[in-house]
Amino acid sequence: MQHGTCPESVFFHLLVSDPALGDLVRAVFPQLQFKVYYFDTGVMVVDLGRWRRTGYTRRIERWMEIQKSPAGRIYELGSLPPFLLVFAGHVAPIEHRWNQHGLNGDNVFGRCRDLHPGPVSLLHWSGSGKPWARLGAGLPCPLDTLWAPFDLYGPTDSAAEGSR
């Protein structure tokens, strides 16, 4: 199957972030053979030699051109969809320690998340729940305190010293 505006020669790509949607499509169309591909571009490890040989920049830019065409938007979610379309089936997971994602918590319900078990090498506050916003609002999650020393606009020790 190929969509008329698809610059790739592909059989079928279904790109979803919600596993329930993939389950629904499988239930409605059991004859379709497909895999659900999703990854987060917030933390990527890239083989630059392969990137150049495969022309990934050109391919991603092509999807961006389609998005900007007079025909109108074909996707939402900012810069993520072109990467999903280009890299579907060509991604590998990285260890949790290299992408402790999901630390954004939930600003609506005030839920905070914990770290994945095991060693931690990179903290990733993905989504809209940023530590600087919660710290500024006086409603931090416990892990936000790990980011606090790097907040250039927050309270500083020198400000406290100046009040002595």
pLDDT averaged over every residue in the chain: 73
107 and 133 fall within a common domain? yes
161 and 130 fall within a common domain? yes
Rounded CA gap, 91 and 35, in Å?
12
Task: Name the strand (E) or helix (H) holding 127.
Answer: none
| Contact predicate 100/115, CB 8 Å | yes
114 and 69 fall within a common domain? no
Given a cut of 50, whether residue 11 has pLDDT beyond it is: no
100 and 64 fall within a common domain? no
Q: Which of 59, 87, 115 is the last residue of a domain?
A: 87
Mean pLDDT of 42-66: 91
pLDDT in tens, 77-122: 677 888 888 887 788 877 777 877 777 766 556 678 888 788 888 8
139 and 158 fall within a common domain? yes
Q: Which of 87, 105, 139 is the last residue of a domain?
A: 87
pLDDT in tens, 125-138: 877 788 888 888 88
| Contact predicate 23/14, CB 8 Å | no
Q: How would residue 156 be classed by pLDDT, with cut points 50, 70 and 90? A: low
Rounded CA gap, 94 and 43, in Å?
9
| Contact predicate 38/17, CB 8 Å | yes
74 and 99 fall within a common domain? no
Nearest to 87 by CA among 34, 39, 22: 39
Burial (Cβ within 10 Å: 0-12, 13-18, ≥19) of residue 105: buried
79 and 98 fall within a common domain? no
Q: Which domain holds residue 48?
A: 19-87
Q: Residue 14 forms beta bridges with which residues?
A: 36
Q: Please give the residue that has the higher pLDDT: either 52 or 8.
A: 52
69 and 31 fall within a common domain? yes
Burial (Cβ within 10 Å: 0-12, 13-18, ≥19) of residue 131: buried
The number of distinct structural domains making up the chain is 2
- Inside any domain, residue 12: no
60 and 103 fall within a common domain? no
138 and 108 fall within a common domain? yes
Residue ranges of E strands in the chain: none
